[in-house]
Amino acid sequence: SLCFYLLLFLCGWGAEVSHCTALGVRVAEYLQQYYNLQEEPMGRIKRSSPIFTSKVKDMQIFFGLNATGALDSDTLEVMSTPRCGVPDVEELSLIQGTRWNKNVITYSIGRYTRDLPRYTVDSLVDSAFSVWARASGLTFVRSHTRSADIMVEFLTNQHGDLYPFDGPRGTLAHAFGPGLGVGGDTHFDDDEHWTAGETGFNLFIVAAHEFGHALGLKHSTNPESLMYPTYKSSRPVRGRPGYFSRYGSQYNPWVSGSLVPRLMQNKCDADLTFDAVSTLGDATFFFKERYEYLLSLSFLFFYDSSPSSCELREKLNQKCLESTAYLIHESMFWTVRGSLVKGKPRALSHFGFPAWVQDVDAAVHIVKTGRTLFFMHDIYWSYNENRRVMDFGYPKYIGEDFPGVNTTINAALYKDGFIHFFVGPQVYKFDYTQKYVVGVEKANSWLGC
């Protein structure tokens, strides 16, 4: 029988028939839940039937496996990986509609998990919604009533929606697509171990995925997408000048492990300094030696290379625009548009610098004026982004136009009308309109220290 030969392949000659039976049940349940495998008459599913083999092939095709229809080790490994409970290929009732018919969506947190303090759950859920707020233009407002559009709850086993949880591992969470009633509601299996870090299952990461379903997105076959159905093991993320590894195909945000290099363990060092700070859309990146950091995990996914953000914008009939940034290293710079480095590196002289300028200490774009300021030692330049020329009369002395900032600048960032000058382990908050320093703080405070 198929069961007998499957045992020989998977477990060796000494395997027991009871194990084969349990394995067959698990495989059948997986295909029923995620690939709409239907029971045959008399409530039986024959593993030798063409329908069963066809569903196995569907699953293998979805995950990029060799589509043989056979339950090989790679197939069984994927089936045993913790994952989202929303089906992969079928239009079942979990995905109810296509989009919300409003731009302000309310959410409420009902039952909490005991694994984390309530304020931590609140913060992680808020951060996960912020991912989609920045990707979609939608506004998410916290409500404290059960009449909210999206109810977020931690539940176990049978919990009243016909999609029971299965205990530790297996199905981690599921969400209903946009619609009335349970539409948008998001449930997490409270038999899992929920964390805010690397152990157990990271709530922020799982929530960001599930809220994609709550907005009408399906699973993606791209392993690098936030909407990929399985929860991946950890792997390091590294970068080098001129290349955004966090944006490229190496990065998969649907992971539980280290989202930043080990150097980040010292992020609260009182002497922490940065080599550069930059914004790309609503995300803020901090560069230190060979590594890059994010201001907040809540900004992580909008700039992932997956199609999720553009796909969501298209659902909302919005145009998906690509942000542009420049990476400067010594006398060269790279153009980063969307998620890719565009073209070859070019010399700094492209901006109109004199030939003797071979490096800059910091650069900051002032949205209000359309200027980019470049700082080097005790002088700075002003570049007109609209005319693409350097403004007349530069360079000027930093100390004259930025009183109170009389030293070499490591990095600079413009936000809410203020320029934040990173000078060693300190940050000077400079009022760009009134032209004076309004405060000084530690650089590590920007990383939550």
Binding residues for Ca(2+): 115, 149, 166-167, 183, 185, 189-190, 192, 275, 363
Q: How many residues does the chain have?
A: 449
Give the 3-state DSSP-derived string for the chain, with helices as H, strands as E and coil as C.
Answer: CHHHHHHHHHCCCCCCHHHHHHHHHHHHHHHHHHHCCCCEHHHECCCCCHHHHHHHHHHHHHCCCCCCCCCCHHHHHHHCCCEECCCCCCCCCCCCCCCCCCCEEEEEECCCCCCCCHHHHHHHHHHHHHHHHHHHCCEEEECCCCCCCEEEEEECCCCCCCCCCCCCCCEEEEECCCCCCCCCCEEEECCCCEECCCCCEEHHHHHHHHHHHHCCCCCCCCCCCCCCCECECCCCCCCECCECCCCCCCCCCCECCCCCCHHHHHCCCCCCCCCEEEEECCEEEEEECCEEEECCHHHCHHHCCCCHHHHHHHHCCCCCCCCEEEEEECCEEEEEECCEEEEEEEEHHHHCCCCCCCCCCEEEEECCCCEEEEEECCEEEEEECCCCEECCCCCEEHHHHCCCCCCCCCEEEEECCEEEEEECCEEEEEECCCCEEEEEEEHHHHHCC
Main-chain phi, psi angles of 105, to 5 degrees: -120, 130
Q: Which residues are annotated as a binding site for Zn(2+)?
A: 84, 159, 161, 174, 187, 209, 213, 219, 227
- Residues 52, 254, 247, 66: what is their CA dihedral angle, to the nearest 10 degrees? -20
How far CA 117 is from CA of 54, 124, 195, 196, in Å, comes to 45, 11, 10, 10
Q: Which residues are annotated as a binding site?
A: 84, 115, 149, 159, 161, 166-167, 174, 183, 185, 187, 189-190, 192, 209, 213, 219, 227, 275, 363
Cα gap 157→398, rounded to integer Å? 64
210 included as an active-site residue: yes
Token digits for 170? 């297996």
- Contact (Cβ atoms closer than 8 angstroms) between residue 319 and residue 311: no
Cα gap 379→369, rounded to integer Å? 19
Among the listed residues 153, 210, 322, 330, the single catalytic one is 210
Hey, which residues are catalytic here?
A: 210
